[in-house]
């Protein structure tokens, strides 16, 4: 059945079941003119939005509706994590073609509800319109953070370590593999593709890191771009040791077109975190969930990449919309 036959209200009926996963903060969810939410007590409210557009951010033949729904919310939760916060509520606006299968939307919402359940986030509203153009999916997210835990892009000090969560580059490598539209993918290739279509926002690690990090950013546009954002916002010089940039086993195993480190530096959509911290061992470091890749050094703002005895400026190349 096409969406046209289900109609706007039929669609919203399907959407509105099972949307509340942390009920204590919701007075009114989907079904009224606006959601009514209890604001966090003694905390800052975080508010962010991120949009996905068909044929710019995704194509319907390389991502399932379920994963697309999951990812639309994941990229938003990542922005809240990058502020050291916990996501609480989302609203979703979408522009859809009338001939799209209704199952596309129901499966997409299953993906959205899966991630909402995982992180205890409520889906409290949205807007649905038709379009003759590409599918547009927008999410706006609310979150909360104690003021003392707030992580801005500025705040790093000379001598701080620069660290990242998990591994980088997997998503960009997965994207490249997907676009080859192979009939069969190896296990390593499938792991990279999964990192691309179903990224995990680092909400859990962010909570631990927010206790000691001095600045933080999420890695949505590649390490080169994001480290430069930290350098610019914090007016600091960062030195990154190329050999320390963490790559996954899947990345090492897969055969790819480019130098593997380039996916980490100039790829995107990893949704990991880059942050600065005082130089000391921490539990997350010992557990191997974070890797120190460099440090904040004295000097003019900028990022430098050390490769053996060579050091070069690392420019903020990466995906840019305009």
Q: Which residues bind ligand ADP (CB under 6 A)?
A: 12, 15, 30-33, 92, 94, 125-128
Which residues contact residue 161 at a Cβ distance below 8 angstroms, ignoring those fewer than 6 apart? Answer: 276, 277, 278, 279, 292, 294, 295, 296
Q: Which does 30 bind (CB under 5 to 8 A by kind): ligand ADP, Mg ion, none?
A: ligand ADP
Whole-angstrom distance, CA of residue 156 vs CA of residue 275: 9
| DSSP character at residue 40 | P
In angstroms, what is the minimal distance from the CB of 297 to ligand ADP?
Answer: 47
Nearer to ligand ADP, 119 or 161 (CB): 119
Whole-angstrom distance, CA of residue 236 vs CA of residue 229: 10
- Angle of helix 187-197 relative to helix 65-81, nearest 10 degrees, comes to 70
Nearer to Mg ion, 55 or 127 (CB): 127
First-residue to last-residue Cα distance in the chain: 37
Whole-angstrom distance, CA of residue 257 vs CA of residue 121: 38
In angstroms, what is the minimal distance from the CB of 249 to Mg ion?
Answer: 46
> Which of 8, 32, 55, 127 forms a contact with Mg ion (CB under 5 A)?
127
Which residues contact residue 73 at a Cβ distance below 8 angstroms, ignoring those fewer than 6 apart? Answer: 90, 92, 112, 115, 116, 121, 139, 141
> Candidates 64-72, 124-132, 201-209, 249-257 — which segment interacts with Mg ion by CB under 5 A?
124-132
Nearer to ligand ADP, 36 or 243 (CB): 36
Nearer to ligand ADP, 29 or 294 (CB): 29
Q: What is the dihedral of CA 39, 123, 289, 241, to 10 degrees?
A: -90
In angstroms, what is the minimal distance from the CB of 9 to Mg ion?
Answer: 11
Q: In whole angstroms, how far apart are CA 64 and each of 19, 67, 104? A: 21, 5, 9
Q: Which does 12 bind (CB under 5 to 8 A by kind): ligand ADP, Mg ion, none?
A: ligand ADP
Q: Which does 33 bind (CB under 5 to 8 A by kind): ligand ADP, Mg ion, none?
A: ligand ADP
In angstroms, what is the minimal distance from the CB of 127 to ligand ADP?
Answer: 5
In angstroms, what is the minimal distance from the CB of 85 to ligand ADP?
Answer: 22
DSSP assignment of 99-148: TSBHHHHHHHHHHHHHHHHHHT-EEEEEEEEE-SS--EEEEEEEEEE-GG
Rg (the chain; Cα; Å):
20
32 in contact with Mg ion (CB under 5 A): no
Nearer to ligand ADP, 31 or 278 (CB): 31
Nearer to ligand ADP, 120 or 278 (CB): 120
In angstroms, what is the minimal distance from the CB of 157 to ligand ADP?
Answer: 43
Nearer to ligand ADP, 70 or 266 (CB): 70
Nearer to ligand ADP, 91 or 205 (CB): 91
307 in contact with Mg ion (CB under 5 A): no
Instruction: Using DSSP, state whether 304 is helix, strand or coil.
Output: strand
In angstroms, what is the minimal distance from the CB of 54 to Mg ion?
Answer: 21
In angstroms, what is the minimal distance from the CB of 65 to ligand ADP?
Answer: 14
Give the footprint of Mg ion on this chain (CB under 5 A).
Answer: 127
């Amino acid at each position: 059945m096409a969406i046209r036959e289900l109609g706007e209200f039929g669609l919203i009926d399907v959407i509105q079941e099972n949307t509340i996963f942390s009920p204590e903060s919701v007075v009114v969810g989907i079904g009224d003119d606006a959601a009514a939410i209890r604001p966090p007590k003694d905390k800052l409210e975080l508010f962010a939005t991120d949009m996905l557009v068909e044929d710019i951010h995704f194509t319907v033949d390389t991502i399932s509706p379920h994963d697309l729904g999951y990812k639309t919310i994941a990229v938003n939760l990542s922005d809240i994590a990058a502020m050291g916060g916990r996501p609480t509520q989302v609203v979703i606006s979408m522009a859809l073609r009338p001939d799209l299968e209704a199952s596309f939307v129901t499966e997409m919402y299953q993906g959205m509800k899966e991630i909402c359940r995982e992180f205890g986030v409520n889906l409290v509203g949205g807007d649905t319109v038709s379009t003759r153009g590409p599918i547009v999916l927008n999410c706006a997210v609310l979150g909360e953070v104690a003021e003392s835990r707030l992580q801005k892009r500025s705040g790093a000090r000379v001598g701080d370590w620069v660290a990242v969560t998990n591994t980088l580059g997997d998503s960009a490598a997965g994207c490249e593999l997907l676009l080859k539209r192979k009939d069969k993918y190896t296990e390593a290739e499938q792991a990279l593709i999964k990192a691309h279509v179903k990224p995990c926002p680092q909400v859990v690690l962010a909570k631990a890191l927010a206790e000691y990090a001095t600045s933080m950013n999420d890695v949505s546009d590649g390490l080169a771009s994001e480290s430069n954002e930290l350098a610019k916002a914090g007016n600091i010089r960062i030195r990154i040791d190329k050999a320390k940039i963490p790559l996954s086993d899947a990345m090492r195993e897969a055969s790819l077109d480019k130098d593997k480190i380039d996916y980490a530096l100039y790829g995107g959509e990893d949704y990991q975190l880059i942050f600065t911290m005082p130089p000391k061992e921490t539990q997350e470091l010992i557990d191997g969930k974070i890797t120190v890749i460099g440090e904040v050094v004295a000097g003019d703002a900028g990022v430098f990449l050390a490769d053996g005895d060579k050091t070069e400026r690392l420019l903020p190349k990466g995906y840019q919309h305009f």
